[in-house]
Amino acid sequence: LKYFTVNLSPNVRILQDMEGSLTARDRVGIQDFVLLDAYTSETAFMDNLRKRFNENLIYTYIGTLLVSVNPYKELGIYTKKQMDIYMGVNFFELPPHIFALADNVYRTMISETNNHFILISGESGAGKTEASKTVLQFYAVCCPSTRLLDNVRDRLLLSNPVLEAFGNAKTLKNDNSSRFGKYMDIQFDHQGAAVGGHILSYLLEKSRVVHQNRGERNFHIFYQLVEGGEDELLRWLGLERNCQKYRYLIQGECAKVSSINDKSDWKTVQKALTIIEFSEKDIEFCFVFATHFSLFPFFIIYSCQLLGIPLNMLQEGLTHRKIEAKAEEVLSPFTAEHAKYARDALAKAIYGRTFSWLVNKINESLANKDSTRKTVIGLLDIYGFEVFDVNSFEQFCINFCNEKLQQLFIQLTLKSEQEEYEMEGIEWEPVPYFNNKIICDLVEEKHRGIISILDEECLRPGEATDFTFLEKLEEKMCGHPHFVTHKLADPKTRKTLERGDFRLLHYAGEVTYSVVGKFHLMQTVSLSLHTSDHFDDVMVRHQVKYLGLMEHLRVRRAGFAYRRRYEVFLKRYKALCPDTWPHWKGTPAEGVQRLIKHLGYKPDEYKMGRTKIFIRHPRTLFATEDAFEICKHELGKAPVTSDKRRLAFPEATKIETCWRGLQARKERERRAWAVKVIKKFIKGFINRNQPVSMDNSEYLAFVRQSYLTRLKENLPKSVLDKTSWLTPPPIMQEASVLLRKLHTRLIVRKYVRGISAQQKVQLQIKALTSYIFKGRKENYPQSVCQSFADTRININIRVLQLICPEGIKYSVPVIKYDRNGFRPRFRQLIFTQAAAYLVEEAKIKQRVNYSSLKGVSVSDLSDNFLILHVTCEDTKQKGDLVLQCSYLFEALTKICVVTKNHNLIKIVQGSVRFDIQPGKEGFVDFKSSSESMVYRAKNGHLMVVSPHNDKS
């Protein structure tokens, strides 16, 4: 791991890169704290930080560290133009910036083909999440780009709004606080192109699902869905557009926040889910589980359907505890309080698993399919250190994670510094600093740490309680300098502790944790920590202290303020010494020795290492830099012909001559190329209608490219636009036909994607209607423009009670003709899941099971008659049904959908035979005429006459 980055504080953020280098002084204050003369003074440190902050210079280095002060406002320093400025530039050539860090990591990764990581840490509200997004955006711009790589880039960027929607929430400190930890691998190929990624999430704050403190909200996704979700989606999910209806969303009493646009964020999440390849089924799964188990803790029947478990099993699990005693099982009812715990536990568990599933789906989308070796830049964004009035087990885990992070920070920074001095053979005295290993051991040490003791208590025989756990802690931790309880504290401290509390002295300060609820579900109450857009001295000073910034600065200065490789130092400052300017013939180390002797460096101001020069005091470096600036300007102002400049630049004339010659040769080559291209173009035009050959191949390629370019800018906007398609040249005739078909298909697909779920259902049903009737029944074209309805009549409540168990799928008014005399009767035709019913008001006249339905006959003319053929084995049974329906195509399509038999419809010509009863038959004759008529003919048949309809 070559790079280490830390993000800290609600107002302070640190990012560290292991590569050390020189920093030039900034116009406002000092842009590298290592060059601060009063480096031991915390006041001087704060003054420099404040001075730069007041001028909107939020970034400052501490040697290899980058400290940033959160301005809580937009500064316009993360634009594409800023990215271009920092791209490919040495780390310290420009003012401190997160782009400088990101670029240095990226370039070093490519040059060394090694993995690197950026670690972002800090208090809640420090801007850690924004920093990680800024780094991702920088890589999205600076990496090589192709269509495939752009897809990967878009998925990497758009995974953020999805994860933020499901994993971030408004807290008292931050309106977009990450409530989970995230480590993201960005995978690059050998050319530096982003080809994939992987996200590892941990420590999701599931307690927020069921409880929020005053002034806080649940996870963003719930409010986005309620405020921005489409009406149809909300109806399908059984939701109302009112957050006040849901207890899990309003405990913080701030469901709406002025700085958050839930409707707009919902659209962003929808777009992101589409781009990172979530199918409609995936999205449906995600929202069904996320909403119904978190917004509807009492919606138990629907919950059982989603879980696929019996109702009594879920009820029993939420209201009873199972006790096993030898071979017997006893159910003990919960108290109301314990039942609430069980309900909330289910909601949290389901949401936690949904979040894990979501991350896995995103990882599938980001997965790199290429098996060749890749280099990786890791990006770690974790919770900030948090202290509340009552701190739960979740807060304990979060703060311990930060404790481990601080330990890693200490080890890497001090270790790298010490290793460099040892490698270069430089003697130095170590600086004392607080090593938080003692706190880490207090929590995680085997058999003695807090976590081990908690495990033992949970597993031991007998009933473990909150206070038996506390007693065990007091027994094992008695006398530990970083642990205290009410029992172990002195009288003064005891007044600040409850009997169920223990207090840890973290690296960031004291935190009191409550053991109450360690063996049940826990809830937390937040304490507001005010932050604003001004420089908060108290807050910043606190963070500077607990982050160990002064110790780190002293470590850097205990050695040397500046170090540089000999060849780099000599290249920059060689003009300051006549012996080294303009060329030095010896080794770089000898040249540097000659140079600093000429500059008058004193022995205590520098050390010569094996490969680098180390300068102890900033003033020494400033004096050298000032001398270089004067020398540079003097040399630049001298005329070309002067002896002074000729001596300073003995090869200036030669360089100028070579440069002019190079420019002239380039111009000559450019003109020769232009002449060649023009000749080829003319020759190709003359032979454009000939077979492809050396004479016309490039011209024809130009014609193809030109046509495709113009076509791209003039594509038809709709399927109905038949005139906009550009006339192709002869060579593109066949390709134009294929492209037009493809474009039409894409327009249709884009239209389908943009329509609602209800419109999609309409299209599917219309497609089935077309499959059955197009070109086979005269009046089919008139049905295309008519929307199909879910039902055509309101069902009588008594009819509903009779057939409700089967579930009504469709109903429509019809005219039923008697089988013998063909007398018309007004009826309702109802389709359920199992059968078709013919109903008169509240009375069922006939029931036809789909299993006994042999088919449905219709004519090929423009009438609205249908005959339902029924299997009839008993003379007492009713026979086939002869019906007339104004919504013929809709009704016939619905019966095909309900019966799942698309071949049920039979289209006939002339006459249809039907069974009146077994052994007795009747006929319906169809013909066309000028007007519509229905009557009984002399031959006893039912004659149906319909107006002629031209099939064209």
- Binding-site annotation: residue ranges: 122-129
Residues annotated in a binding site for ATP? 122-129
Q: Which residues contact 211 (CB under 8 A, 6 or more apart)?
A: 251, 344, 523, 524
Candidates 86, 96, 87, 17; CA nearest to 49 is 96
Distance CA 543, CA 718 (A): 60
Distance CA 907, CA 858 (A): 5
Residue carrying structure tokens 């299209």: 763
Bridge partner list, 844: 839
DSSP string, 40-72: T-HHHHHHHHHHHHHTT--EEEETTEEEEE--S
DSSP string, 549-564: HHHHHHHHHHH-SEEE
Bridge partner list, 906: 857
Distance CA 281, CA 552 (A): 52
DSSP string, 858-918: EESSS--EEEEEE---STTS---EEEE-TTHHHHHHHHHHHHT-TT-EEEESSEEEEEEET
For 206, the 3-state DSSP assignment is helix
Other beta carbons within 10 angstroms of residue 72's beta carbon come to 14
Candidates 71, 38, 39, 73; CA nearest to 52 is 71
Q: What are phi and psi of 514, to 5 degrees?
A: -100, 130
For 308, the 3-state DSSP assignment is coil
Bridge partner list, 923: 913
Chain-centre distance of CA 359, in angstroms?
Answer: 9
Residue carrying structure tokens 């921005």: 228
Q: Which residues contact 531 (CB under 8 A, 6 or more apart)?
A: 10, 11, 70, 72, 125, 173, 539
Element (H, E) at 711: helix 697-713
Distance CA 352, CA 358 (A): 10
H helices of 308-392, in order, are 311-319, 336-366
Tell how strand 853-859 and strand 905-908 pair up: parallel
With contact defined as beta carbons under 8 Å apart, do 126 and 386 qualify?
A: no
DSSP string, 529-553: ----SS--HHHHHHHHHHTTHHHHH
947: preceding bond cis by omega (within 30 degrees): no
Q: Which residues contact 307 (CB under 8 A, 6 or more apart)?
A: 314
Distance CA 747, CA 766 (A): 19
Strands (E), 73-193: 116-120, 168-169, 177-178, 181-188
Bridge partner list, 927: 945
Tell how strand 116-120 and strand 181-188 pair up: unpaired
Q: What are phi and psi of 896, to 5 degrees?
A: -65, -40
Tell how strand 116-120 and strand 375-381 pair up: parallel
Q: Give the type of residue at 489.
A: A
Candidates 63, 60, 67, 58; CA nearest to 18 is 63
> Furthest-apart CA pair in the chain: how many Å?
131
With contact defined as beta carbons under 8 Å apart, do 354 and 348 qualify?
A: no
Candidates 507, 445, 512; CA nearest to 484 is 512
For 935, the 3-state DSSP assignment is strand
